Amino acid sequence: MNVAASACAPNPCPRRSQKLTPRRFTLSSCFALLLLLLMSGLGWAQDKRVILPIDPEPDPDPNYVQIVIAQGEGWQLVQTSGVIDDSAQRYSERVYMIDGLRGLADVPLPQILKNELIDDLAGTPEGEDMSFAINQRIADEIALSEAQGGPTDALIALAEADDGELEPLRGKSGYIAKGSCGDRDIVKSKHFAINAPLNSSTNLSGGFTGSVSLTGTANLNADGEIKITLKRAKVWFLCIPYGVRFRHARVWGTALIDQGATLSGTISYANPQAREWQIAKPHLFSVDFWAGPIPVHIGFNLPITAGFDQGGITGSVTGSATYSGRRSISGYLDYWCTASSCGGGSNFDTVNLGPQPLTGSISGRFQPSIYAQVAVRGYLYSEGVAYAQVGIRPYLRGDLWGYYGNNCGDADGDGFFETVDALTFDLDWQLYVTAQADTFLTNEARWTLWGSPRWHVGFWDLLGGDGSSALTPMLTGPAVVPANTAQTYGARMRACWPYTDNVDYTMNWGDGGTQALSGPAATLTNASHTWTSTGTPQLSLLALRDAHGRQLNKTTWRPVQVTSVQGHMGMTWKLLGSDGSYAHVGGDAQTSPYLGDTSPTVSLPLLCLNQDGRSAPFWMTFDFYNGWAAGEVRLSAPVQGLALTSRAVADGICLSTFGLGYRMGEFHDGGGGWTWWGQGVLSPNTRFWVAIDDQPANPWN
């Protein structure tokens, strides 16, 4: 499997019938499962997660220390200490760390520098967060110069050449700024290679009793880059560098991830919010350098995290599951990220590393969706000032489904719901290129540059013997048909089947003819056939697979009686009126209770009645021709009259469809005849079969 992703974001984006008692199964099978790790990448959507209180401290950044001296709303004064890489010179400087406008309002800086930074923020795209690091020593010299009405010697010594004509100061080091004094971009990069273990086991709680374990390694051979801007201001006639601003972090190179994951435990909940926990954060490298007279420290580390989105572990009833899997990813990436936009691309291949065992025990549905992530993060001074990270987040999306009962449909059309069972596991994999950035640890943003489709890994029937009987399709249509007359039959999956994808079927008509069908799992897909001779052909419907890739290969069989008799006309009624939740049903000009009025080759619903003795509403009045049936009425799915071979068959259809107490409605159920009232809401445009006990107007007569 090969996946490629690219992104470029030049414009800023905003921040963000009666059931039987359930039975459990515990069975094993083999399957391949993936849960990958790789770099956390980029794109934009608000995505706040609960960080569990098990985060390990990051590995220390060697040769650099910072201590907070003072702080206020949106700013800190920090003592920074380190060693310059090129010269091995030690430095110790105090630096104001400022969080955009929020920090500028309060930080004790000279107004001239505040104005410079406010102008910088004014030119920033809306919604982009920005942080600055301002050297206190230089800020103090500017303040002293303002107080004495001219530049101090120390400030003159700090002056740099501007972007225009240069004129050295007489007798002093420094330059007179005759042109503009613009900012200057600085880019620093360094190669790194790391082989990081990915070993962790985390216990989960709150409805899930169990753990998520990760094993494997992450091999990275790449370059990390930080771009900053040296801030310079014209103070009197001098061009003074006074601070730096974070611009972007970039990583490019190759990666190889060999990752395994195991989820085990019992479930009985849906998690209400996203959760994420940090496994490790190894230090990659750092660079210390002079930006003018300002010592700058940049660094890269490798946050390794795991988690799941809101609703990422969902269980409808109590059950348990254990599954694990391994997969390898290799490829290249090149991404950069600022606080508001990202760009770049990547290309990765993924390989299945073999089957792993699965056990399950459930009556219901368990849908775990778990990710693991390795991110390359670049920062200025520390993550508390500004950082951005790039990479890949792969998801493992499992679906364990179990069922046992007799409320999942009548597949063979005999008028009774079969008792069926199921235990299946479906597995998908999905890959996202994501990103994360923050300034001053107050404006965390996460977004998505690219997402793959859901790739199907496999579908497993975990029941032994003949497998899960709930996977057999439903075959609807008449049981008795006349020869040389076209008949309609329908195909669909059972009502308990949890997936909605289109299903491919093969219909075998039992006379040598076959027909391919395809349609939504929960919707009848119809096919028509004509038998030219009498007999009892064996009709079969084979569910092959669905559009998602689940291989079913389950068949439903039923005999069909082909006769030379066209059958007897049946009687039909319609809805005559309604009053709220009460329906008035009866005959009209078409209705014939003596000979029947509708051909038995027609398919119509049955009027079903549960005559439970309920009282009529007080405002209704009744007579011989307009009575009260003392029950609830409903309409079944359409049934061909020829399939109604007896009153018992008709009553059985109502019973299996709506439950105990339901039978076919009859002409005299209101106490007299022709019409009656019952409680229920029926379609006003549908005719339906109604039985009659004392006349031959039934399809079975």
How confident is residue 349, by pLDDT bands cut at 50, 70 and 90? confident
- Range 337-360 average pLDDT: 75
Return the higher-pLDDT residue of 566 and 328.
328
Residue 261 confidence (pLDDT):
63
Summarised one tens digit per residue, pLDDT across range 418-451 is: 999 998 888 887 778 889 999 888 878 888 888 8
- Residue 22: φ, ψ to 5°: -60, 150
Return the higher-pLDDT residue of 319 and 120.
120
Average pLDDT, the chain: 82
pLDDT value at 24 more than 70: no
CA dihedral 667, 668, 670, 676 (to 10 degrees): 20
Lowest mean pLDDT among 127-131, 343-347, 541-545, 612-616: 127-131
Tokens of 279: 């496994």
Q: What is the rounded distance in angstroms from the CA atom of residue 314 to the CA atom of residue 362?
A: 13
Q: How many CA atoms lie within 13 A of 626 on its CB side?
A: 8
Summarised one tens digit per residue, pLDDT across range 253-299 is: 998 877 666 666 666 555 667 778 887 888 999 999 999 899 999 99
pLDDT value at 51 more than 70: no
Q: Single out the residue of 347, 350, 366 nearest to residue 358, CA to CA.
A: 366
Are 500 and 521 within 8 A, CB to CB?
yes
Summarised one tens digit per residue, pLDDT across range 685-699 is: 899 999 999 999 999
Enter the pTM of the model. 0.66
Summarised one tens digit per residue, pLDDT across range 146-197 is: 999 999 999 999 988 765 544 555 444 544 445 578 899 999 999 999 887 7
pLDDT value at 16 more than 50: no
Are 504 and 545 within 8 A, CB to CB?
yes
Are 95 and 136 within 8 A, CB to CB?
yes
Residue 83 confidence (pLDDT):
95
Angle between helices 111-122 and 136-148 (to 10 degrees): 120
Tokens of 349: 């291949």
pLDDT value at 493 more than 50: yes
**pLDDT-above-90 percentage for the chain:** 50
- Range 105-113 average pLDDT: 93
Length of the chain: 701
Summarised one tens digit per residue, pLDDT across range 597-629 is: 999 888 999 999 999 999 999 999 999 999 999
pLDDT value at 198 more than 80: no
Residue 8 confidence (pLDDT):
44
- Range 564-581 average pLDDT: 89
Q: What is the rounded distance in angstroms from the CA atom of residue 630 to the CA atom of residue 616?
A: 7
Name the pairing type of β-strands 50-51 and 364-380.
unpaired
Residue 518 confidence (pLDDT):
97
Residue 280 confidence (pLDDT):
81
Q: What is the rounded distance in angstroms from the CA atom of residue 602 to the CA atom of residue 604?
A: 6
